[in-house]
Structures are given as structure tokens and as C-alpha cells.
């Protein structure tokens, strides 16, 4: 078995395969302790009932579907909510150090839009602790994990996978891996915006490109969550997140005029409003000229007791001191909305996250179906654990059912030629400049607020970038083969950007994270998933109905915001 991606979802799937006695190899393009999962701060959801005994998996599913603006697949939501407790138990088995009450119970806190306290956590570094636990378990199981391997193509024959091809980022050594099944866990596409919470060379749409070129499709690529609070400076760290726990603990948002502007957008919840609303509010303040000189707004926690900041927001305090020499106990933080999370992704079946390509699975931020138009805070981490386990078992069963593995020399030759052609490319276009052009286009035309004219203009600009991309020059050097990797990142960004722009133009409504200034209302006819491929363009896909017991919970309960952290 081959797992592409060594973050939370990839490692959890690899662990399941190893525990099932199946040979597995996990590949990552960045160090396993520095994956995107390690950046997750807030917490992980499960209806454990340790704090609120009334909580249930049904209520968790109901909250998830409601927050998705009814674009989540109800079956996917049910699977995650039902399997969440097992996910937490697995982490405990791997040695995860959760915050606990005095009597030993796992502590759980509120996040925005949760009916009950169901978010378990480890300080404000939950994702890092999860990653540590998974890496330690992988070591115990002797799972081979290769860092610094870039996968360029998933190999297929007659509609089924038989492995993958790639190269070593350090010395360019080619890798040909034969595998009965491939699990795609290589993240989302939020790095195709200029300001993003992802690091420089991650989440460029790798999963999208690999899946689409293998014959799979994408679902809801236009549904991208913009986090309200990314820092603006320094430039090389723009978009780095300030945890929303800062607002949850009492932080206040002000514009450049000193006005507490959330009273104009959500007077009841104010700074505790949902992520999509706060991001839209900050975007509007900046767009209408009430932003700071750098194009941001102020987030102020300096009025909070120093002890609160140091114990509840230690990572925020340390980050701002390191990046800006800013003491948040005395001064406000300059922030702006930042592209944060791909709620759409590769089209998968709810039960086992298989795709329409036999033997190809997608999990984590690479996949789709759970989050719809607004992700419930804390759901991303539990999704990794639940579907990592399920997909590991599904892939093992698929492999056991194969009588033989059909391979294709032609597919392998094409993968080799793709790299060879790039390595000999000596065009005049610079890959980094073209990546920047993609980010500029997406930021200008497909940011927090969109309209028909801008999306169409964005597609025209993308056409021009695609033409220029055929004339790139690739120059590996003593530092390694990063330039070649950037060329593949560019290929991925172009596919992800086209899918996003075309789907965003088709979704002529405002729903959750997707704001259309020319279609400001929610359209009941668009309570559908938009599925994209380069072969078919955008097609509409019906969403199954919500089961009665969950629908009743959605209708019955208005969620209070009192004492709650935001998403």
C-alpha cells in the first residue's frame, strides 16, 4: 500500500494498514513533524459527554450539517460523529496527552456553533500533539516513512491504480512504487491565494492534480474557508494564524478608526460570531476604507489579564514576539482574512472514501463531503482519525480481493518523460513568478467576496498563465531539486484555480464561505454539490436527505454563544 502525505490523515491510515498486517509505505514532501496538521491549534471534536452528558453523536452530526449550510453529505457527517469517540480512544492508545479535569476526565470546551462542549484539546497546540502521537506509533510499528519525496503522478491502467511515480527532493533520485492501492492525503489548495495560513510550498493543490490526472473528479472546490485572523507582516509569514481562541478569550476587533465593528455585522455574538461572518466583516471594513495602512484590522487582547494570555494563549504570545517583537499583552495585533481550509476536495464515496478510480482513496483536506460551505470548528482533526481508520481497512480489503495487479509500461514511461521534459526545459518563464501570478489572480477575483465579472476575468488571466507555463525553465542546483517541485506545484495550482473559478461562477448564490456580491441571497436550488473535472466542467450533484432524527435536532435547537470559543 502507498500513502501520499504524512500528516494526520496519512499517518493514521498507514497505522491502520500496519496494524492489519499489510505492507505500507508513506511518502511526504516535507518533514513528518512539520506537516500541516501540526499547525492546528484549537481542538478535536467528539461527543464524549465528559462535560455535558446530554451530548450525542446525533447532535454532533446535526451541528455539522447545520453549519455546512446543508451542503454536507449527511451520511459522511454521521460516520464522523459516530466514529469520533473511537478516534479519541485511538489517540489515547498512542499516548496522546489531552488536557484533563482534576478527576481525570478529558476536558472538553465549546467551539462556535456547537450545542454542547465536545472539543477536546491539548493547550493551543492540539494538532502538534496529535502529529507527535501518530509519528511515535508509526515508529513502534516500523512503518517506513520517507520525507522529501515528491510524487508527480499516480499510475493507472484500465481505470485502476497500480502505484505512483516521483523523485527525491534532495538528489533527484526517481521513485517508481508499485502498490495495490493508493491513499491520497496530500492536503488542500489554499496556498493558491496570496495570504494563506499554509506554509510556502504546501497545499498548492497537489491532491487535486494527482487525483484529476488519474481520472478522478473534484467536489465543491469553490468552498474555501477564509480564517478571519492571519497576520500581515513580515511578508514571508503573511497569513500565519492568530488562533481564534484569542477572540474566544475576550479579544476585541477594531478598525483603523478605533470602532468595534462587529456590532454592525452580528450585534448578538460580536467577536464570537462564526468564522465566515467575521472574515466577511473584516474584509468589508478593509474594502470600504476603514482598514489599517497595511490593509488590515486590529485584534486587541491587551485588556485581558496577563495570566490569561500566558496560560490560555501561549502560542499566540510566542508567535508574535518571534515574528514582530510584538508584546500582545500591551499592543494590538494587525490581522486580515487569510485562505485557510479547503472544504471541498476530491470526490469520494461517504462509506470508504473511495474514488471513481479503482484502488484510489482520498482522506483529510484532500477529500470532500463533510464540511459543506462552513466547517464546524474542531471537525477537521477528528475527520483525519475517523477516515484514516476506515480507509486503511477499506484499502486492505480491496487489496486482499485482487487476483492480480495489472501494470502499464506506457504509464510508467509517461511519468518518466514528464520529469525528463521539465528537467531539460530551458524556457524564459520563471516558475516562482507564475505561481505568484496565480495567487494574485485568485486573491483579486476569488477571495472572500466574488462576482461574475471578476470570476470570468480570473479565468481569462488563468488562460494566459497556462500559456506562459509551457515556457518555464527548470534549473536544479546544489541545493536540490526544489525548482522541479515548484514546476509541479504550479501545474497543481493551475488545475485547482481553474476548478475553483469555474465552480465559483456556477454557484450563483451566497452560502456560508461563498459570498457573491451579485447574488447576495441563498438559492434553495443550489443546495447541491458542484462536481468538476476537466472533461465535464461543472455538474450538479444532489445531496441525500437528512435522516429524521438528525433533522429534528437541527430544527429544535438554537445554539447559544455564551462562554464559547469561536471556530
**Catalytic residue ranges:** 227, 247
211 Cβ contact list (under 8 Å, min separation 6): 154, 184, 217, 218, 346, 355, 357, 360, 362, 366
* CA distances from residue 78 to 74, 113, 356, 371, 498 in whole angstroms, order as listed: 6, 17, 22, 12, 31
Q: Are 95 and 136 in contact (CB under 8 A)?
A: yes
Q: Is the dihedral of CA 186, 189, 194, 197 positive or negative?
A: negative
**CA gyration radius, the chain:** 22
Secondary structure, 3-state, 513-538: CEEECCCCCCCHHHCCEEEEECCCEE
* CA distances from residue 88 to 94, 191, 415 in whole angstroms, order as listed: 10, 29, 40
For residue 316, the number of C-alpha atoms closer than 13 Å in the C-beta half-sphere is: 35
Matching residue, cell 477536546: 120
Query: What cell was used for 414?
Result: 509517461
- In angstroms, the CA 333 to CA 253 distance is 10
Residue 556 belongs to what H/E stretch?
helix 548-556
DSSP per-residue letters across 184-221: E----SGGGSSSBSS-TTS-SSHHHHHHHHHT--EE-T
CA 338 centroid distance within chain: 13
Q: Are 98 and 50 in contact (CB under 8 A)?
A: no
- In angstroms, the CA 245 to CA 566 distance is 7
* CA distances from residue 319 to 152, 179, 325, 331 in whole angstroms, order as listed: 34, 41, 9, 14
Q: Are 566 and 275 in contact (CB under 8 A)?
A: yes
Number of neighbouring beta carbons within 10 Å of residue 324: 17
Q: Are 441 and 461 in contact (CB under 8 A)?
A: yes
- In angstroms, the CA 136 to CA 235 distance is 34
Matching residue, cell 490523515: 9
Question: What angle in degrees, to the nearest 10, is found between the helix axes of 8-19 and 126-140?
Answer: 30
- In angstroms, the CA 72 to CA 220 distance is 10
Amino acid at each position: 500500500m502507498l500513502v501520499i502525505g504524512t500528516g494526520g490523515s496519512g499517518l493514521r491510515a498507514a497505522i491502520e494498514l500496519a496494524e492489519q498486517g499489510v505492507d505500507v509505505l508513506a511518502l511526504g514532501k516535507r518533514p513528518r513533524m512539520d506537516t500541516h496538521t501540526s499547525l492546528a491549534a484549537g481542538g478535536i471534536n467528539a461527543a464524549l459527554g465528559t462535560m455535558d452528558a446530554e451530548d450525542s453523536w446525533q447532535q454532533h452530526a446535526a451541528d455539522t450539517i447545520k453549519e455546512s449550510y446543508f451542503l454536507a453529505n449527511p451520511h459522511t457527517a454521521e460516520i464522523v460523529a459516530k466514529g469520533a469517540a473511537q478516534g479519541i480512544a485511538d489517540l489515547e492508545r498512542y499516548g496522546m496527552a489531552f488536557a484533563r479535569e482534576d478527576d481525570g476526565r478529558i476536558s472538553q470546551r465549546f467551539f462556535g456553533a456547537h450545542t454542547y462542549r465536545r472539543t477536546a484539546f491539548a493547550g493551543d497546540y492540539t494538532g502538534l500533539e496529535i502529529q507527535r502521537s501518530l509519528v511515535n506509533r508509526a515508529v513502534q510499528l516500523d512503518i517506513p516513512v520517507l520525507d522529501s519525496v515528491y510524487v508527480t503522478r499516480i499510475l493507472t491502467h484500465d481505470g485502476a491504480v497500480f502505484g505512483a511515480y516521483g523523485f527525491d527532493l534532495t538528489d533527484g533520485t526517481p521513485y517508481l512504487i508499485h502498490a495495490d492501492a493508493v491513499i491520497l492525503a496530500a492536503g488542500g489548495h489554499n496556498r493558491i491565494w496570496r495570504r494563506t495560513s499554509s506554509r510556502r510550498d504546501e497545499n498548492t493543490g497537489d491532491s487535486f492534480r494527482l487525483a484529476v490526472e488519474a481520472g478522478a473528479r473534484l467536489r465543491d472546490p469553490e468552498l474555501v474557508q477564509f480564517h478571519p485572523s492571519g497576520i500581515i507582516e513580515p511578508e514571508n509569514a503573511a497569513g500565519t494564524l492568530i488562533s481564534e481562541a484569542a477572540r474566544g478569550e475576550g479579544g476585541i476587533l477594531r478598525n483603523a478608526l478605533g470602532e468595534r465593528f462587529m456590532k454592525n455585522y452580528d450585534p448578538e455574538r460580536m467577536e464570537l460570531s462564526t468564522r465566515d461572518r467575521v472574515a466577511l466583516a473584516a474584509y468589508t471594513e478593509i474594502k470600504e476604507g476603514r482598514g489599517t495602512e497595511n490593509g488590515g484590522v486590529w485584534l486587541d487582547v491587551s485588556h485581558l489579564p496577563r495570566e490569561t494570555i500566558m496560560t490560555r494563549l501561549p502560542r499566540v504570545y510566542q508567535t508574535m514576539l518571534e515574528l514582530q517583537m510584538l508584546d500582545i499583552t500591551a499592543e494590538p495585533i494587525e490581522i486580515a482574512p487569510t485562505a485557510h481550509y479547503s472544504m471541498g476536495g476530491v470526490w469520494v464515496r461517504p462509506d470508504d472514501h473511495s474514488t471513481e478510480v479503482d484502488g484510489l482513496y482520498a482522506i483529510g483536506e484532500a477529500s470532500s463531503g463533510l464540511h459543506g460551505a462552513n466547517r464546524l470548528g474542531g471537525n477537521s482533526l477528528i475527520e483525519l482519525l475517523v477516515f484514516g481508520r476506515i480507509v486503511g481497512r477499506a484499502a486492505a480489503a480491496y487489496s486482499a480481493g485482487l487476483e492480480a495487479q495489472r501494470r502499464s509500461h506506457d504509464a510508467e514511461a509517461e511519468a518518466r518523460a514528464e520529469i525528463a521534459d521539465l528537467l531539460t526545459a530551458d524556457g524564459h518563464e520563471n516558475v516562482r513568478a507564475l505561481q505568484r501570478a496565480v495567487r494574485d489572480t485568485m486573491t483579486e477575483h476569488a477571495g472572500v467576496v466574488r462576482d461574475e465579472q471578476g470570476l470570468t476575468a480570473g479565468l481569462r488571466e488563468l488562460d494566459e498563465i497556462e500559456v506562459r507555463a509551457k515556457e518555464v525553465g527548470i534549473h536544479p542546483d546544489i541545493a536540490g531539486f526544489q525548482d522541479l517541485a515548484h514546476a509541479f506545484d504550479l501545474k497543481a495550482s493551475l488545475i485547482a484555480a481553474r476548478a475553483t473559478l469555474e465552480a465559483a461562477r456556477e454557484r450563483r448564490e451566497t452560502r456560508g464561505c461563498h459570498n457573491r456580491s451579485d447574488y447576495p441571497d441563498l438559492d434553495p436550488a443550489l443546495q447541491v454539490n458542484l462536481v468538476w473535472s476537466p472533461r465535464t466542467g461543472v455538474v450538479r450533484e444532489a445531496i441525500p436527505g437528512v435522516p429524521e432524527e438528525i433533522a429534528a435536532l437541527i430544527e429544535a435547537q438554537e445554539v447559544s454563544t455564551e462562554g464559547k470559543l469561536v471556530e
